[in-house]
């Protein structure tokens, strides 16, 4: 029968690794402002998943932000959504992430 200290150490290790897994999902989502969107970022809305294909730009004196996006499931479908420049968008970053 294993020693009690060994069992406690294994239990602590399991608890520790479970916490790390919950903090670091495979594809982390980040809340970014519309002007911080990058080509390749993906986000979800009520119609599905979209991928950013153009650089963001602003109108109305910087109060509204727009960027060209395409639907992941239908690459021929593009859109030009509008956000308030102060809003945050939950995105999945692809490739190397900057700090």
In tens digits, what is the pLDDT along the chain, a chain of 99 residues?
566 776 676 666 655 555 444 444 555 677 889 999 999 999 998 899 999 999 999 999 989 999 999 999 998 999 999 999 899 999 988 765 554
User: Does the CA dihedral 14-20-25-31 come out positive or negative?
Assistant: positive
Q: What pTM did the predictor assign?
A: 0.64
How wide is the angle at C-alpha 47 spanned by C-alphas 41 and 53, nearest 5°? 30
Contact between residue 61 and residue 9 where contact means Cβ atoms under 8 Å apart: no
The structural domains of the chain, with segments of one domain joined by +, span 26-92
Q: CATH says 26-92 is which class?
A: mainly beta
């Amino acid at each position: 029968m294993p020693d009690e200290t060994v069992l406690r150490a294994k239990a602590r290790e399991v608890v520790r690794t479970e916490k790390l897994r919950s903090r670091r999902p495979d594809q982390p989502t980040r809340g970014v402002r519309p002007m911080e969107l990058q080509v390749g970022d993906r986000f979800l809305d009520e119609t599905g998943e979209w991928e950013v294909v153009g650089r963001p730009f602003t109108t109305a004196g910087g109060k509204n932000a727009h960027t060209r996006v395409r639907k992941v499931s239908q690459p021929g479908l593009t859109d030009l959504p509008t956000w308030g420049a102060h809003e945050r968008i939950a995105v999945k970053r692809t490739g190397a992430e900057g700090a």
